Chains A and B, each alone.
Chain A
Amino acid sequence: MSAVEKMTPAEARLARVTLPEGFGPQRRAALERLTAMGLPGRRDEYWRWTNPTDFIAPEPVAAAPFKDDEPELFGEIDRLKVVFRDGVFDAEASDDLSMSGVEILRLAEAGDVNWASALYGTLEANGQKPVVRPFAALNTASATDGVLIRVTGKAEKPVSLIYTHESETSDPILHHLVKLEEGAEITVLENGPAGARFNKLMEVDVAKGARFHHIRVQGRDHERRAVTGIFARVADEALFKSFTLTSNGVLTRNECVIDIVGDDANAHVAGAALGDGKSGAFHHDDTIFITHDAERCESRQVFKKVLKNGAQGVFQGKILVKPGAQKTDGYQISQSLLLDEDSQFLAKPELEIYADDVQCSHGSTTGAIDETALFYLRSRGVPVEEATALLVLSFVADAIEEIEEERFRDAILTRLEGWLSRHRG
Chain B
Amino acid sequence: MLEIKNLHVKLEEEDKQILKGVNLTVEAGKVHAIMGPNGSGKSTLSYVLSGRDGYEVTEGEAELDGMDLLEAEPEERAAAGLFLAFQYPVEIPGVGNMTFLRTALNAQRKARGEEEISAGDFLKLVREKAKSLKIDADMLKRAVNVGFSGGEKKRNEILQMALLEPKMCILDETDSGLDVDAMRLVAEGVNALRDEKRSFLVITHYQRLLDHIKPDVVHIMADGRIIETGGPELALEVEKNGYAELLAKHGISEVMA
Contact = CB atoms under 8 A, between A and B. Distances in A.
Interface of A: 370-373, 375-384, 386-387, 390-391, 393-398, 400-401
Given A390-B103, A393-B95, A394-B95, A378 B73 contact: yes
Contacts of A398: 93-94
Contacts of A375: 51-53, 74
Interface of B: 50-53, 73-75, 77-79, 83-84, 86, 89-90, 92-95, 99-100, 103-105, 107-108, 111, 143, 160, 164
A376 B99 CA distance: 15
Contacts of A397: 93-95, 143
A382 B107 CA distance: 5
12 contacts: A375-B51, A375-B53, A378-B75, A380-B78, A381-B111, A382-B103, A382-B107, A391-B92, A397-B93, A397-B94, A397-B95, A397-B143
Contact of A381 (B53, B95, B99, B104): B104
A391 to B, nearest CB: 7
Nearest to B79: A381
B74 A379 contact: yes
A378 B51 contact: yes
Nearest to A389: B103
Contacts of B78: 378-381
A375, A386, A396 — most chain B CB neighbours (10 Å): A375
Contacts of B105: 381
B68 to A, nearest CB: 17
Contacts of B111: 381, 383
Contacts of A377: 92, 100, 104
Contacts of A371: 53
A394 B74 contact: no
A386 B107 contact: yes
Contact of B75 (A373, A382, A393, A394): A382
A74 B98 CA distance: 25
B90 A380 contact: no
Contacts, number: 84
A150 to B, nearest CB: 37
A378 B74 contact: yes
A110 B50 CA distance: 67
A395 B99 CA distance: 15
Contact of A373 (B52, B74, B90, B108): B90
A393 B103 CA distance: 14
Given A371-B53, A375-B74, A390-B100, A380 B164 contact: yes
Nearest to B166: A381
Given A381-B75, A393-B95, A376 B86 contact: yes
Given A380-B104, A381-B107, A381-B164, A394 B92 contact: yes
Contacts of B53: 371, 375
Given A380-B78, A383-B75, A372 B90 contact: yes
A382 B104 contact: yes
Nearest to A394: B94
Contacts of A379: 50-52, 74-75, 77-78, 83-84, 86
A398 B93 CA distance: 9
A375 B88 CA distance: 12
Contacts of B100: 377, 380, 390
A380 B84 CA distance: 8
B237 to A, nearest CB: 33
Nearest to A372: B90
Contacts of B75: 378-379, 381-384, 387
A376 B90 contact: yes
A71 to B, nearest CB: 19
B84 to A, nearest CB: 5
A383 B93 CA distance: 19
A384 B51 CA distance: 12
B8 to A, nearest CB: 22
A399 to B, nearest CB: 10
B75, B99, B105 — most chain A CB neighbours (10 Å): B75
B57 to A, nearest CB: 16
Instruction: List the 6 closest A-B pairs by CB distance, nearest first.
Output: A397-B94, A381-B78, A381-B108, A380-B104, A378-B74, A376-B90
B103 A394 contact: no
Nearest to A395: B94
A406 to B, nearest CB: 13
A370 B160 CA distance: 21
A370 B73 CA distance: 17
Contacts of B50: 379
Contact of A384 (B73, B79, B86, B92): B73
A372 B53 CA distance: 9
A118 to B, nearest CB: 43
A185 B186 CA distance: 50
Contacts of B104: 377, 380-382
Contacts of B94: 393-398, 400-401
